[in-house]
Amino acid sequence: MSGAQEGDLVARVEGAAGIVRLNRPKAINAVTLEMFRDIDKALDRFEADPAIAVIVLEGAGERGLCAGGDIRALWESSKVDGDLGKILWREEYILNARIKKFPKPYVAFMDGIVMGGGVGLSAHASHRIVTDRTRLAMPEVGLGFFPDVGGTWLLSRAPGEIGTYFGLTGQTMNGPDAIHAKFADAVVPAAKWPDLRDALTKVRLGITAADVSKLINGFATGETVGPVAAREPAIDALFGFDRMEDIFAALKRDGSEFALTTLKTLNEKSPRGMVVTLKLLRLARTASSLEECLVREYRAALEVFRSDDFREGVRAAVIDKDRNPTWSPPRIEDVTPDMLAQYLAEIGADELKFN
């Protein structure tokens, strides 16, 4: 299955399964606008084909399902006041919502690195498989951004303040952590994936979602609690606030090794990104649908695209790789209500709409 003859997105039928393979292994399958469009076309085809019972999403190579979106292209467009952000995020978010509502079982194999845009393609699936190698994260706050692709919907539905913790720190979940945080459904050892994948291509037509779950569970370890779950009481106490200043104060007051390590992590993040993230997470708690969160995320994303923080965050992490961003403003105390309001404001004709 050489990538030389195949494009960045491989969509093929294998038995009763419609396979969607992200095929940029050298970039850990980072997703481009064209790939989002090709996934949408593949789903059109697979949805209409009565001979396809199940969809399988996978990533090429050994490193992971997907490291996220094509951040470099977005950075370059942002620098010249381009419109890639407006176009890409619109199509990506509409695709995220489509995956959530897809009428056939949609199985996402979340092996290795799964971040950002990769979460959007997998964590809204009906069946979400993680492995002993899964490293899942929403690290956007470190780029002057926030957890998008429906990340605010997902994180706000994790138990207690686990989602607040993962969203603000960008810390990585292993497989059982991802299940505990409700980003995944079953841990299947990576070594067992070829056999499970083969079984999925041989399912009968009209198989129910419950039957697919039963099939997956036959390969699963049954693990549901990772290392972060053990810290849940502390996380709930430290992150149960609606203002970043209060979270920082609680961490300083606590003074434990975990609190101080977390404080150090947060001090590296974009103050504006953290304030926007926390607000979006709190608003998401009362949202009635993924779409409602995506509409809000789209408004905020367009504001991010115009911001120096996004360009600076990507420069420091991806372009120059000096890991030393200069955030604007530099402190959470300097993020004003007026600044925050710009991320939440309605955007008229540009509002995200779903079919």
Give the catalytic positions in this structure: 69, 117, 140, 148
The position carrying tokens 């059109």 is: 44
Quote the tokens at residue 3. Answer: 């990538």
Tell me if 178 sits within 8 A of 187, measured CB to CB: no
Provide the strand spans (E) within the chain.
9-14, 17-22, 54-59, 106-110, 113-115, 127-130, 135-137, 186-187
Residue 228 near residue 165 (C-beta atoms within 8 A): yes
Q: How close are the terminal C-alpha atoms of the chain, in Å?
A: 35
In three-state secondary structure terms, 161 is coil
Q: What is the dihedral of CA 282, 285, 290, 291, to 10 degrees?
A: -60
Nearest by Cα to 281 from 180, 181, 132, 173: 181
| Distance of alpha carbon 189 from alpha carbon 197, whole angstroms | 12
Q: What distance lies between CA 167 and its chain's CA centroid?
A: 10
Q: What is the DSSP letter of 126?
A: S
Residue 56, SS3 per DSSP: strand
- Residue 36, both tokens: 């989002």
